Amino acid sequence: MLLGPPGAGKGTQAQVIAGRLGVPAISTGDIFRANVSGQTELGLKAKVYMDAGDLVPDEVTVAMVKDRLAEPDAKGGFLLDGFPRTIPQAEQLRASLQDLGHGLDRVLELVVEEEELVRRLSGRRMLVDGEWVQREDDRPETVRHRLKVYREQTEPLSGFYEAEGLLTRIDAIGAVDEVTERALRALGWPDGGGQPDATTGQPSAG
Ligand code: AMP
């Protein structure tokens, strides 16, 4: 699981790390955004909260993740990005994983100071249909609110997983591949990952 404030680089790292581990990256933010674009019932419900920089209610989010974790590609493991974001979500996750016969191996917290987060989020643009656009929730006033929400509702998860002996904090300042290397090392890939073996998903020798 990747934990960390908005702008810490969770989405980018989740894609790279999941690719190296050969497991799907499950991002609740991406699932919500896909539903908003598709104008589904879930998307319409989530959009109000997302645009305001607030968290989507736990019951909506937890049910969605539960369905996603039950899909066949998650059987061999997965990387969670942006979930859980509250203590109740973490407790529900624990119960869901127990039902599925899974357990969390490790929680990586990406650490970046707040000033840098504001700089990154305010300058961030996404490529949508060939055009660079700013996410609605990356506007400066919404960014400040999202960081407050993070401090109040999500940061306590750091202590929650530390108490379970699952947490490793990683300095997430630096080039993307440097941060990836720190993350992989924390996951016990001492050579920084190497090339995963196509059949085992483990790093090959050398
Ligand atoms: P992200 O892309 O992870 O920054 O998520 C974008 C937005 O989606 C957040 O600001 C929330 O409104 C919503 N969201 C994503 N994940 C969660 C979650 N685990 N719980 C509640 N809301 C979420």
Q: Are 110 and 13 in contact (CB under 8 A)?
A: yes
Number of Cα atoms under 13 Å in the Cβ half of residue 160: 17
Query: What is the C-alpha separation between 106 and 114, in angstroms, rounded?
Result: 24
* Ligand 1 pocket, mutate which of 28, 144, 148 (most atoms under 8 A from CB): 28
Q: What pLDDT score does 65 carry? A: 95
Q: What pLDDT score does 191 carry? A: 56
- pLDDT higher than threshold 80 for residue 205: no
Return the ligand 1 atom nearest residue 28 CA: 16
For ligand 1, atom 5, name the residue with the nearest CA: 29
DSSP H or E stretch at residue 111: strand 107-111
- Residue 124: strand pairing partners: none
Residues with CB under 6 A from ligand 1: 6, 28-29, 32, 49-50, 53-56, 61, 82-85, 89, 137, 146
Residues labelled catalytic: 10, 85, 124, 135, 146
Torsion sign across C-alpha atoms 196, 107, 151, 111: negative
Question: In which residue are the tokens 């483990």 written?
Answer: 202
The pTM assigned to this predicted structure is: 0.88
- Residue 138's CB is within 10 A of a number of other CB atoms, namely 20
Average pLDDT over residues 73-95: 96
171 Cα–ligand 1 center, Å: 22
Helix residue ranges, H only, the chain: 10-21, 28-37, 41-52, 58-69, 87-100, 114-123, 140-149, 156-163, 176-186
122 Cα–ligand 1 center, Å: 17
- pLDDT higher than threshold 60 for residue 85: yes
Q: What pLDDT score does 83 carry? A: 98
Return the ligand 1 atom nearest residue 32 CA: 8
Q: Which residues of 24-33 are buried (b: 16+ CB within 10 A; e: fewer)?
A: bbbbbbebbb
- Residue 169: strand pairing partners: 109
Query: What is the C-alpha separation between 88 and 204, in angstroms, rounded?
Result: 39
